[in-house]
Amino acid sequence: MDTLTVLCFCHSDYSEIWHAYFDYHQATMKGVYTVMAVNSKAFAEVFFSVHPHLRPNEIIEYNEQESIPHRLLKILPQLKTEFLLYVSDNNVLTHVDHESLGTILRWLHDKNYDTMQFVGGPETYGFETITDTIVVKPSYDCYPFSFLPSIWKVASFYYMLGVYQNSSYRTIELDVQPFLRATMKCFRPACLGPTKVCNIGNRMEPYFQFMHLLGSRKWANPVQLCDFQDEFWAMVKKYNIDLNQKGIHE
């Protein structure tokens, strides 16, 4: 997958998840070039000195005093591939089928499309069949952009962020919606077949699945993890995660 870079967007405040996050990353994205963006490279270096086998290909430090669009606008020009897979450290990839991912990348390239989000949405029109097992639909009715895992054409992501560079982390997902509807081709899985559900109805196809574990600096309520509850508790036990440190959403 030489057209893809995985961008692991991280913060030291979430470091208690890093062991699990990068362990899962190694299992799901092995062999794909990976860049970690983090608020403190020195902090990350200490972590990887203890877990050297989990070290990404590159570590880039960002200035956490800047808005998230400004941080990303400085990082994206350093990526050397046409596409990126954005995965922040509050999301843990649990399964990625590389053949399906490669098919989606080729489809995005050949069609000159901009992005593929990896959760289903309410749209019920415009279905496009890529293969017998990959059917997608336009992503305009509900969050055509979010900070959940997604593939972006690097140039398109950069363009969008440049337009909304003064938006905050909390507002940009809403701010960009009219712009994306007018200027970009955004897609998400059609979720017509068997799916897994995680966090308040987010549906995912078998070829790309993840756990959305943290929000507003608290752990997700395990009940809302739906089909991933067993995996979540196994992860907490395996990596000795103290859920009381941040607390759990009610």
Nearest CA among 86, 93, 91, 55 for reference residue 72? 86
pLDDT digit string, tens, across residues 22-62: 999 999 999 999 999 999 999 999 999 999 999 999 999 99
Quick one: 210 exposed, middle or buried, by C-beta within 10 A (0-12, 13-18, 19+)?
buried
pTM of the entire predicted model: 0.94
Average pLDDT of each block of 10 consecutive residues along the chain (250 residues)?
A: 94 95 96 97 98 97 95 97 97 96 97 94 84 91 85 97 91 91 93 82 91 88 91 95 87
Both tokens assigned to 110 = 């050949």
pLDDT digit string, tens, across residues 166-187: 998 889 999 999 999 999 999 9
Which residue ranges form the domains of the chain, and what is each CATH number? 4-245 (3.90.550)
